[in-house]
Amino acid sequence: MIIDEPRIKPGVFLSCENSTVSFKNGPFEVSFEARDKVPGELPNPGTSSVNLRSWLYSVLGTDSPEAIAGFIQKLVAQGVIIESAPLDAFDSEYVGYRLVDYYRILINRLLVKNPLMHTLQNGAHKNVQIGVLLETYYMIRNADWTAPAVLGHWLPEQQRKLLHEFFEEESGHGELLADGFASVGLDPDAVRKGVPQPETLSYNLCFYTAANLSPAHFAASIIVPEVPQSPRASVHDNSESDILSLLTDIPDDLIRCARSHEEIDDDEDHGNLPVELLAMEGALSRDRIASLFEIVHQTTVSLDWLFRGVERHYSDWDQEVGVGWANEAMGWPT
């Protein structure tokens, strides 16, 4: 990655204690040990590229372009350093990191404001909790159905390899959940024959639409399901924003089935895949970058409506009618 005009992002908090330098930007924090006590003043927001590089040289104690570039890349990944405008094009890996930053802002707002989260945090009815898992199943059971659309584009060999591996790893994940629904009184075969709520279908279509546009757009879209909501989030996070930990009336075995999907994604490092894919795109124009940000925005909005749909539909769900109730009511085939 080459950052032609690096500067410290406005709003970044910088501090130093003896030889430890720390950068903090909201939830992001990175520290490093300087070669000695930090000389001079820390750079302020808007520092020019020349001054920033000179300052890093004095702190790192090396004039190696590779060492300085490597450190700048780490700060870029943390959102501490951004490129100065105006530029006609931006490095695609850098854009990938900024898309992740943008998604994390959006998803944290969603988790605060979405009514489903409020319902779950206040002790949702068991049917709503089951609904969360049902719609999750309908999200992931055909996660590889977008493969022909994105793989139909011309792709560099490494990008194609990463996508093939991703779709292979996602294939069959729905079955990790399906049989577990028997523990909450649902027939697994009926679940398999069921269809998602309209909001879930709309969310799934976001990925198909993005895949048809380009590999870069697809990479931007999968930031939403694959990237953790914060840099430190993990499948073992039991915070109030971890939905599975809020499903308190669901048997542990079914929760473990749901967790297994997250654990596989975590083990396969799917959280870094979107940036890896985008890094192979080279320089991106401002117009193309704007469309990638729009993909992240629209996919997150669709996720918001999916959550709202779960809260709305399953609050009045009569489980005795069965999973196929929506099919019969709307005339959809099973």
pLDDT of 163-206, one tens digit each? 999 998 888 777 878 888 999 989 999 999 898 999 999 999 99
How far is CA 15 from each of CA 4, 21, 26, 297, rounded to the nearest angstrom? 25, 6, 14, 33
Q: Which string of DSSP letters, residue by residue, matches 261-295?
A: HHHHHHHTTGGGHHHHHHHTT-EEEHHHHHHHHHH
Residue 1 lies in a domain: no
Assess whether 111 and 57 both reside in one domain: no
Domain end position, chosen among 32, 52, 83: 83
pLDDT of residue 327 exceeding 60 = no
CATH code assigned at 221: 1.20.910.10
Assess whether 244 and 162 both reside in one domain: yes
User: How much is the pLDDT for 332?
Assistant: 35
Assess whether 155 and 251 both reside in one domain: yes
Domain with 177 in it: 89-330
Assess whether 12 and 103 both reside in one domain: no
User: How much is the pLDDT for 219?
Assistant: 97
User: How much is the pLDDT for 329?
Assistant: 38
**b/e string for 293-316 if b means 16 or more Cβ within 10 A?**
eebbebbbebbbbbbebbbbbbee
Task: Give pTM, 2 decimals.
Answer: 0.76
Tell me: the pLDDT tens digits for 221-231? 999 999 988 76
Q: Tell me, what amino acid is at 64?
A: S
Assess whether 211 and 252 both reside in one domain: yes
Assess whether 234 and 98 both reside in one domain: yes
Question: Angle 49-60/65-77 helices, nearest 10 degrees?
Answer: 110
Assess whether 95 and 226 both reside in one domain: yes
CA 309 to chain centre: 21
Give the three-class secondary structure for 215.
helix
Residue 230 lies in a domain: yes
